Amino acid sequence: MAAPAVATDSSEWTVPGTGIRLDRPAVLGVLNLTPDSFSDGGKYADAVEALEKAEEMVRDGADLIDVGGESTRPGARGVDAAEEWRRVGPVVERLALQGIPVSVDTMKAEVARRAVDFGAAVLNDVSGLRHDPDLADVAAEAGSGLILMHMRGTPRTMQSDVDYDDLVGQVRDGLRRSMEIARERGCSAGQIVVDPGIGFGKSAVGNLELIAGIGRLLELGRPVLVGPSRKSFIGALLDVPVEERLEGTIAACLSALERGARLFRVHDVRAVRRALDVAWAIQSSGTRQST
């Protein structure tokens, strides 16, 4: 069993076997092995093509490859654990064997357990442990990284109610509850990263407020991840289809970086990595001057 991460500082996330230190922004490259994901569904149905894509993203500067076998786009139907594992298992195993750090995007403890047994370093739960709290037991035992995302309802229902009295405050409180579940199940604080869940039960304007309000999520004391990549709020703002949302994705990532986000889940790794590196260099040079 890997030793649990011990960091408790919001700028540290020490995940065994990944080398991720958050002394620069971390990029998670999205690899959806689903027929129905909103922007890359059906593209990597074949394990060989999926591996090639993962290797390309690593060359382009991804720190982690986030492998998913169940679409969470609004209205998506879930799949059972056996089908989800059939989609992701061979790819998780081969990436881990090649020493490529893998995160698995799953809400199911059963899939999570198999994934860490096959070498996955991080579990990414878009339900923030609400769907299957046993997933936290898997993370606690394995000492894996644990991304806890905020979502209201389920992917099938989440867009039916996008009104909040205090969106950022309610998201922060929901994430705090997810963190409590993780801690009750034996995870250390240092394993956890929080994510406001852009596009998950939020309006287009709400997504903008969430990015603008990242500073309030830092109150949770853990690193913040954002996943704005190609999402519909960018389409709504610019009136562009999914394949023309790269500039909007970069703008959202840089804006989030400036407000304190440190991890970025994106499809277009090369472009986002370059943009983040430049923005980070500027931000760090300012810090050097003022100290």
> Which of 53, 113, 172, 231 is an active site residue?
231
Burial (CB count within 10 angstroms: exposed 0-12, middle 13-18, buried 19+), residue 253: buried
**At residue 15, what are phi and psi to the nearest 5 degrees?**
-105, 120
Characterise 99 by phi-psi region: left (phi > 0), alpha (psi -120 to 50), beta (else).
left
Which one-letter amino acid corresponds to residue 280? W
Q: How far is the CB of 59 from ligand HH2 (least distance, A)?
A: 21
**At residue 125, what are phi and psi to the nearest 5 degrees?**
-110, 105
Q: Select 157 or 284, whichever has its Cβ closest to ligand HH2.
A: 157
State the Cα–Cα distance between residues 244 and 265, nearest whole angstrom. Answer: 17
**141 in helix, strand or coil?**
helix
Q: Select 232 or 286, whichever has its Cβ closest to ligand HH2.
A: 232
Encoding tokens for residue 162? 């996008």
Which one-letter amino acid corresponds to residue 262? R
- Respond yes or no: is residue 265 known to be catalytic: yes
CB 278 within 8 Å of CB 253:
no
> Which of 152, 172, 265, 273 is an active site residue?
265
Which one-letter amino acid corresponds to residue 263? L
Encoding tokens for residue 189? 């604080």
State the Cα–Cα distance between residues 64 and 124, nearest whole angstrom. Answer: 11
- Binding footprint of ligand HH2 on the chain (CB under 6 A): 30, 32, 34, 37-39, 68, 71-73, 105, 124, 126, 147, 149, 195, 197-198, 225, 227, 265
Q: How far is the CB of 267 from ligand HH2 (least distance, A)?
A: 6
Q: How far is the CB of 30 from ligand HH2 (least distance, A)?
A: 5
Q: Select 14 or 34, whichever has its Cβ closest to ligand HH2.
A: 34
- Respond yes or no: is residue 231 known to be catalytic: yes
Q: How many residues does the chain have?
A: 291
Q: To which residue do tokens 């100290």 refer?
A: 291
Q: Select 35 or 286, whichever has its Cβ closest to ligand HH2.
A: 35
Q: Select 35 or 186, whichever has its Cβ closest to ligand HH2.
A: 35
State the Cα–Cα distance between residues 201 and 74, nearest whole angstrom. Answer: 8
Q: Select 7 or 149, whichever has its Cβ closest to ligand HH2.
A: 149
Q: How far is the CB of 254 from ligand HH2 (least distance, A)?
A: 17
Q: How far is the CB of 34 from ligand HH2 (least distance, A)?
A: 5
Q: How far is the CB of 284 from ligand HH2 (least distance, A)?
A: 25
Active site residues: 231, 265
